[in-house]
Structure 1
């Protein structure tokens, strides 16, 4: 009896799950967010804010540092949720909003840094002497993390057949987060006198 030489069909990802490439990117982004949050934790454990010209505002700097660490931890959770299977505790549309929001927030931040760097190098603004390997690496890190969020963000609506509203809501709402973190939230500790006034 002749054996069937037809090759077995390749196993495709389960419905709602991304391929291994997107999964790997999501896990890598989550690890980067977690490692970056770990730096903020290190700042707390080494009393980084008690020395220097702003030592009088160490308590306010500590509050902001903890807030940033929390946002990074939340980013790690969003990255993992975006490459996991169908979410059980929240609707897929909410994850879509969050991952698109993370992509847009970091994209705006990275774009702002790039524009600032170009302005410094071109002489439009002062500070070209402050651009070094560390600052360039910092900017590149955020560009890559933004792209890392963008990859599962693009695949998410296709995986769950979502409308474009989730992506639009995430993209439009994203600028509110940097505004909240950089302007609105520091206003309260500044009013209380625990950080320098804006």
Structure 2
């Protein structure tokens, strides 16, 4: 992947803004009490915990995207930025590709129905594919510019989805253990 160096800072800023904008959606959920009503209202405390955790991850993603294109050095080691970039790329790419696979399954009748595919869902998946691609560009560019070891990329690619798994499995299990969510 050969990206012109002057394009990479623009990608970094755009990815950072996407992460911050998407974090803002979660903040609006909290400010408006979005989780306080509906069929899961009794679990609003648990959803709030998960929601704020997601805000932290999105803001961290924005910080990593911006750090990767910063002109002056920051006190964050290159290894941390490298692992974080590759982790964000792998996590978002896996999520988006999983969503595409689910849509294909719906389209061919393996799961759900084709009626479950709408324009909003398509735009949502395209958004994640674009942000994943942006993190991929940033990861490749940063790794090349800083001459980081390939094992850091591997650690990020393997560690990012593990972090997502912790958010989606371990945190809800912990919330269930303390009584904020029902046990599975």
- Kindly state the Cα deviation for residue 192 of structure 1 after the two structures are TM-superposed: 2.1
User: How many angstroms apart in 2 are the aligned matches of 1:161 and 1:191?
Assistant: 44
Moved over 6 A (4+): none
Deviations 1:59-92, CA, capped at 9 Å, x for gaps: 1111111111111111000100111136331221
**Does 2:44 align with 1:78?**
no
User: How many angstroms apart in 2 are the aligned matches of 1:91 and 1:74?
Assistant: 15
Q: 1:170 aligns with which of 156, 163, 168?
A: 156
- Which residue number in structure 2 is paired with residue 4 of structure 1? none
Larger radius of gyration: 1
- Which residue number in structure 1 is paired with residue 18 of structure 2? 32
Unaligned residue ranges in structure 1 (runs of 5+):
1-17
Structure holding more helix per residue: 2
Deviations 1:130-163, CA, capped at 9 Å, x for gaps: 2111111111110000001000111112111222
- Which residue number in structure 2 is paired with residue 137 of structure 1? 123
Report if aligned partners of 1:26, 1:83 keep a CA contact under 8 Å in 2: yes
Give the TM-score normalised by the residue count of structure 2.
0.93
Where in structure 2 are the equivalents of 1:29-178 lying within 5 Å?
Answer: 29-85=15-71, 87-178=73-164
Give the TM-score normalised by the residue count of structure 1.
0.87
User: How many angstroms apart in 2 are the aligned matches of 1:197 and 1:136?
Assistant: 32
